[in-house]
Amino acid sequence: MTTGTEDIACENPWTNTMPPPSYSSTLTVPAGPDAYREGHHVSGFPGGYFLIKSVATGKVLDVARGESVDGTDLILYDNKERSLVEGMRAPETDNQVFFLDVEGHLCSLVNGLPIDVEGNKLVVRHHRPVTLPFPNEFSHPLPRFSYDAWNRAIRVKYMHDPSYPVPSTHPSNQWKERDYVMASVPLRALRTVSQAAAEIFGTASSFFTTGSLGRLAGTAAAAQVRSGDFDLREDEVIEEERAPEDEIDDSPLPHRNVRILNLPVGWVEKEGNTDAGHRRKWEVISLLPNRITTRPQTRGEVSS
């Protein structure tokens, strides 16, 4: 005897959707008592609490305003506490301290919440219910962060296509061939009227130099992308089209933005010593549990 539930199930649009995997099934660390230590070894981050310092700016990763609201941005900010001893640090600086939880997620000490990537920004993420089709922008496995002490890069590993394309029977795997890297964003100081005028005249005079017409056309096109019809913000300038003036980072403001870049594999060899490559370098500084603990060398710190 049938109850009709079979027919109802066939009419349910979700029955043909594969159920989402459990979060534990996405773990890359082994199960067992040594999983916690092994997870830190694989990630490149130390055990315990640590700071993440930008080599280019000297500023540290910071949960903006120390908030716990879902989607709160992470930024770079001046280091607010010089002590590296856990018990001697001011509690209000906990928003600049991070750790890896037992599942290998990068988390903030100030709220204990994991860090996610939203678009190309780092954000605080609350745990959310599963929604279909899975994964999607609202519901997805959290990304994994890893630190490469050799080139001092912090990478993001996704368990899915981070662009969240429309479900397809023939999905593209090109996203797996990209390198997702954390980088600081330069911030230029506001220019005075005289400085702006000098720059305008300097640009105009370069127009008349030999062979400058072609280069000027390319510069104008890039400028149009940066500040013309598309109206890109300073932190949204396309990485490959960043002009020399976009690399200037002389603002006296205490904060900088931080972004996740989608780069081709092999960028380290091509751009490792450029300004752009410098902005992708980080130091990971372990906190000490007490004053008598010997301070380990900072990860990413050059030995003398």
Q: Which residues of the chain have pLDDT under 70?
A: 1-41, 192-242, 272, 293-304
C-alpha 221/C-alpha 11 separation (Å) is 52
**What does residue 98 show for φ and ψ, rounded to 5 degrees?**
-135, 165
Q: Secondary structure of the chain: what % helix, strand, coil (to 5)?
A: 30, 20, 50
| pLDDT at position 19 | 52
State the residue for tokens 């995997």: 21
Q: What are phi and psi of 169, to 5 degrees?
A: -75, -15
DSSP-assigned beta bridge partners for residue 60: 53, 77
Quick one: pLDDT at residue 273? 75
CA dihedral 119, 121, 124, 128 (to 10 degrees): 10
pLDDT given at position 298:
65
Instruction: Tell the residue number behind the tokens 């979700």, with chain if given.
Output: 14
Cα–Cα dist 237/229, whole Å: 13
The CATH-assigned architecture of domain 28-165+173-186+253-286 is Trefoil (2.80)
User: Which regions of the chain carry the CATH code 2.80.10.50?
Assistant: 28-165+173-186+253-286
CB 56 within 8 A of CB 278: yes
- Identify the pLDDT of residue 58: 98
| CA distance linking residue 247 with residue 237, whole number of Å | 11
**What pTM did the predictor assign?**
0.74
Closest CA to 265 of 146, 155, 116: 155
